[in-house]
Structure 1
């Protein structure tokens, strides 16, 4: 008897602007995922020629499934995400920030967990992640919290309950709805999947990030050096 496994398409939503170096690393994280059926949806301002050229060069030398979307530069993060989700092809969406690091098993682990652990859920979110403060070069294990940047969710739900038109906290309404309907699988034991990086140009202010750090556990030097090594990897697009 042959068993055919089904892997629904997951669209990874990446909103970026004028930082191709960070975006390239996010693309590498996407490329190394072991979940087989995925696409990366990259939204960038139409005036951002560096990002456009980077995507062009990647598509010339690889077969990555990339959906590119050019947007007006004044769109909020919430607007940009809603536009990207409306134009993606996946059954599920996964938020894919351009300035964080993701383990190669992130997509597979989050999807399989919400499908197999107890009652089936329509979404999953990490309640513990790794934190790295690039301004002080210190690493942390986060306190229990809903890390909204790790959201994986059925696309139809987000289309019906979209992100708000804000630059920050644009995901609060989405998370509130998912929680109220008991649609979320909370993953508390897989912090290794996601490294949230503060580098000084985040949407979130350092005031808010330092609040997170105060409630989190600072890690030893060996663990911190490991985090920094993940971020310090040099990547470039080689000509075909």
Structure 2
């Protein structure tokens, strides 16, 4: 099968790209989610800054050839978009997946998105809905329908450079890919839980004005299931509703 970006190999290497800073407990969950992926041919690139010793120590304790940490300088201070571009340069995959450190990634995320790319013959896949969880209120919601930036999986040659912005850098990329008609959308919300924890890139007002008003609260049973998934490191043995 071919795509607009060229032939798709069987199980091509996917590089999951994670930028992190000073939140090892969340990073541990993201790493565990990566380790639990059913898609076989993958690597995790973790970018952190030189003044983050706890992250350095944690990553040094992981004995895995497919988890590849990279320490970067702290001066001059690099914007999030610049750090994402460094992770792309350091990665080896034919496909690239954004892998935010503070979210939960379901075990089938990479496999399902790669299948969607192969079936659509477009080089990029994003999730159109995902579950969102407010750690401050312990409430879980089903998101509105849109192309969610954090869920992007893209062929390397199709992914433009991120603008060197501290926030909103991935929205610029998504908007360009949409305009170029390179996206296919996958409506499987159980593959991703986006969390608001108080130290996200976007402030609380963005959450309350741009996300919550367009989201649907889950049932009490589903909310409890989401909390269980997030409490179990990597969600082992549980799946999102």
- Equivalence for 2:238: none
Count of paired positions: 223
The CA RMSD over aligned residues, in Å, is: 1.3
Regions of 4+ moved over 4 Å = none
Q: In structure 1, what is the Cα distance between the partners aligned to 2:137 and 2:163?
A: 32
1:187 and 1:234, CA in 2 relative to 1: closer, same or farther beyond 3 A?
Answer: closer
- Equivalence for 1:95: 98
1:201-239 CA-to-partner distances (Å, cap 9, x unmatched) read 10011111123111110111111111111111258xxxx
- Equivalence for 1:33: 37
Q: What is the CA-CA distance between 1:30 and the residue it aligns to?
A: 0.1
Q: How does 1:185-196 map to 2 (within 5 A)?
A: 185-188=184-187, 190-196=188-194
- Equivalence for 1:138: 139
Q: In structure 2, what is the Cα distance between the partners aligned to 1:75 and 1:157?
A: 24
Matched, 1:224 2:228: no
User: Mind listing any 5+ residue stretches in structure 1 that lack a counterpart?
Assistant: 236-240
Q: How does 1:1-16 map to 2 (within 5 A)?
A: 6-16=10-20
Contact 1:95/1:149 (8 A) holds in 2? yes
Q: In structure 1, what is the Cα distance between the partners aligned to 2:15 and 2:233?
A: 26
Q: How does 1:65-104 map to 2 (within 5 A)?
A: 65-73=66-74, 74-104=77-107
Matched residue SS, 1:23? helix
1:132-184 CA-to-partner distances (Å, cap 9, x unmatched) read 001011010001122100000111222xx210111111013211221122110
1:88-134 CA-to-partner distances (Å, cap 9, x unmatched) read 000010000000001100000001111114xx011000110000001
Q: How does 1:89-238 map to 2 (within 5 A)?
A: 89-117=92-120, 120-158=121-159, 161-188=160-187, 190-211=188-209, 212-234=211-233
* TM-score relative to the length of structure 1: 0.90
Q: In structure 2, what is the Cα distance between the partners aligned to 1:174 and 1:154?
A: 13
Q: In structure 2, what is the Cα distance between the partners aligned to 1:182 and 1:45?
A: 35
